Amino acid sequence: MSQLMPALEPYIRQRRAQREAHGQAPILLMSHLVLGYPSLAVNQETIAAMAAAGVELVELQIPFSEPIADGPVIAQANQLALDQGFRVEEGLEFAAACVQRHPEVAFLLMTYSNILMAYGVERFIERAAQMGIRGLIVPDWPPQEAGQPMALCQAQTALDWIQLFTPTSTDVRLQTIGRWARGFCYCVARKGVTGGRTDFDADLRHFLQRCRQVTDKPLAVGFGVRTSADVQTLTPLAEIAVVGTAALEIQRTAGAVAVGAFFQKLRG
């Protein structure tokens, strides 16, 4: 297991403090890519470009045939990776190599519950922890049903099961999820799936205020973050801006170097 990086929450707070000390906007960037799309070789180039552009966290998605939280761009990338014969084991080996290659970046794995169950939940979590993965995001596994994996993550030194806040959740549910939170909380900026348009308006501000009231963990905001204006709007509201579909579209049309240039401009 990598010993070069602290657990997620102190890492996030340290990196934000470093940016503030240099007079930079403190908000961190988290990117998302689908392993095996269009290939692991291109994934490697894209991650290197992201790291060089200063991206602090990278979410590596293990492809699944029914990615219910994902919009058409990411869902199609999942299917194409599977059509090309992607295997979970090669994805985990790739993730382990990423942790070693980019020790300054916090890597997370994102996938769906069937992947963990097929691999073996305890085996998957222990493997992730041993390789230095810092967080797991499993959007189709609600916390009230995820007692076993959450406990297994909590037993690890520096692997967090990431909770999701959604705008449709009641205050009582947000409070319950907030009590389970570790690392950071992923705030889903709007109803629906990834990739659509998000209005960064008073409703979103109110939702994030509700999230703040139930947890002292850092907040990451995703679903629809696309531009530097979006990131600027989020800077006083959240610790992390999550950019997924927009980066994947650029990778698909212009390549890895263009993805790096895109992230370099996001914080102005």
Cβ pair 4, 106 in contact under 8 A:
no
Q: In this predicted model, what pLDDT tens digit does every residue of 95-114 receive, in sequence order?
A: 999 999 999 999 999 999 99
Candidates 264, 259, 258, 233; CA nearest to 244 is: 259
List the single range of 19-28, 30-39, 71-80 with lowest mean pLDDT: 71-80
pLDDT of residue 121: 97
Domain boundaries, the chain: 8-259
Per-residue confidence at 168, pLDDT binned at 50, 70, 90? very high
Per-residue confidence at 75, pLDDT binned at 50, 70, 90? confident
pTM equals 0.94
70 carries an active-site annotation: yes
Give the whole-number percent of the chain exceeding pLDDT 90: 84
- Choosing from 9, 59, 230, 239, the catalytic residue is 59
- Choosing from 9, 56, 70, 230, the catalytic residue is 70
Cβ pair 241, 230 in contact under 8 A:
yes
Q: In this predicted model, what pLDDT tens digit does every residue of 145-163 receive, in sequence order?
A: 999 999 999 999 899 999 9
pLDDT of residue 68: 66
CA 205 vs. chain centroid, Å, equals 21
With a CB cutoff of 8 Å and minimum separation 6, the contacts of 85 are: none
pLDDT of residue 69: 64
Q: What is the mean pLDDT of the chain?
A: 92
Residue 67 has pLDDT above 90, yes or no: no
The alpha-helical segments, DSSP class H, found in 120-255 are 121-131, 147-154, 171-180, 202-214, 228-234, 245-254
| pLDDT average, residue stretch 256-267 | 95
| pLDDT average, residue stretch 3-31 | 92
How far apart CA 200 and CA 223 sit, in angstroms, is 11
Residue 72 has pLDDT above 90, yes or no: no
| pLDDT average, residue stretch 193-222 | 84
Phi, psi of 51 (to 5 degrees): -60, -40
Cβ pair 38, 64 in contact under 8 A:
no
Per-residue confidence at 66, pLDDT binned at 50, 70, 90? confident
| pLDDT average, residue stretch 71-77 | 84
Per-residue confidence at 193, pLDDT binned at 50, 70, 90? very low
pLDDT of residue 64: 85
Per-residue confidence at 138, pLDDT binned at 50, 70, 90? very high
pLDDT of residue 190: 63
How far apart CA 142 and CA 147 sit, in angstroms, is 9
Instruction: Say which CATH class 8-259 falls into.
Output: alpha beta
| pLDDT average, residue stretch 27-35 | 96
How far apart CA 76 and CA 123 sit, in angstroms, is 28
How far apart CA 9 and CA 160 sit, in angstroms, is 9
With a CB cutoff of 8 Å and minimum separation 6, the contacts of 3 are: none
From first CA to last CA, the distance across the chain in angstroms is 35
pLDDT of residue 195: 42
Per-residue confidence at 192, pLDDT binned at 50, 70, 90? very low
